[in-house]
Amino acid sequence: MAPNPTTQRQPLKLLMLHGYTQSGPLFHAKSRALTKHIQKAFPLHDVSTSYPTAPLRLLPADIPGYEPSETSAETSSIEAYGWWRRSNTANPPLYTGIEEGLATVARTLSEEGPFDGVIGFSQGAALAAMVAALLEPGRKASFEHFEKITGEGGVAGMPFPESFGAGAGFQHPPLKFAVCYSGFRAPGARYRGFFEEPAIRTPVLHVLGSLDAVVEEGRSRALIEACVGEPEKEGLVVWHPGGHFLPSQRPYLDAAVKFIREYVGPEDSKKGKVEEVDVNDMDMPF
C-alpha cells in the first residue's frame, strides 16, 4: 500500500507579524500572495501561518495623516493596532507598551508553536528581528550586560523581557530564519541587548523598497548591520522598486522561497517549480 502523503508532511510554521496601524486579519489579506507562493513551493510540508494582532489599539492621534470625519463614529471603531507606540518626547526614543507587545508574541509562541520562522512587515519586521534575537541562546546575558551600562541621554538598557523568561515558564527553540520587509532597528541605548554582544545570529532576509518613504534607508541599514556576517555580500538584502509594502512580483516572492528553503531543508528542492501568481492575488501598497 502506498504511504499516505498527508501523514509524512513535515510542519512548516510561520509567525506573521503585522505593521503599525494594521491587524492580524489585515496582514493575512495583504500577505496572501506571499504565503500562497510559499505553500506551493513546499508541497512536502504542511505550511501553516499564525497572525496575532498587536495588543495596543491605536487612537486617531496615533496614526499619521488620519483625519476622521466629524459626522462619524470612526474614532471609536478604528481597527488599527501597534506593537508599541514611539514616544515623541523621550530622547533617546522610547517604545511605550513594548513589553505588552512582546508578551503577546510570547503567548502565541507558547500556545501555537513551535514555529520555524517569522515574517514581519515594518514595525512587525522590527519586532520579528527582536523576537529572533530573544530566542537565541545567551541573549539574556546581553540584556544584563547593557542594563549596567549608561548610554546616550543617561539611559541604560531595558531588562530582559519577563514574558520570554524561564520564570514565566516560557520555552521555545531558536527560530530557523526571519524575513523582514521594510524592517528597522529599535534605536538608542535602551534596546542594545537585542542587537549587540552578540549581533543577531538567526539568518535574516531583508526586503526593502527603494522608494520607501516611511522607513528611512538608514534605519533599515542599522538593522542589517546588527546581523552577523555581511548580509549584503551574502545576498541577504533584496531591493524592490517600490514603496512601503510587500512586493508581490514573482522575483521577490521567489527570493523569499529560496531563502526559506536554505533553512527548512532540501526535501522540496526538486519540486521548487512554483506557479505564476495571478494578478488578482497580488497585494496593494499599505
Q: Please, what are the averages of pLDDT over each run of 10 residues along the chain (286 residues)?
A: 60 97 97 97 96 95 68 61 92 94 98 97 98 97 94 88 92 97 96 97 98 96 97 97 96 97 67 37 34
Q: Which of 150-157's residues contact partners 24+ apart within 8 Å by CB, and which partners? A: 150/189, 151/92, 151/188, 151/189, 151/190, 151/192, 152/92, 152/188, 152/189, 153/91, 153/92, 153/188, 153/189, 155/92, 155/188, 155/189, 155/190, 156/189, 156/190, 157/189, 157/190, 157/191, 157/192, 157/193
Check 23, 122, 182, 220 and give the catalytic one: 122
What pTM does this model have? 0.88
Q: Where are the alpha helices (DSSP H) in the chain?
A: 5-8, 24-30, 32-41, 74-77, 98-112, 123-134, 139-147, 192-195, 217-225, 250-264
Predicted confidence at residue 270, as pLDDT, reads: 41
- The CATH H-level (homologous superfamily) assignment of domain 13-63+73-281 is Alpha/Beta hydrolase fold, catalytic domain (3.40.50.1820)
Q: Is 142 a catalytic residue?
A: no
Q: Is 37 known to be catalytic?
A: no
pLDDT at site 65: 66
Domain boundaries, the chain: 13-63+73-281
The pLDDT value given to residue 67: 63
Q: Which of 37, 142, 212, 220 is catalytic?
A: 212
**Residue 23 annotated as catalytic:** no
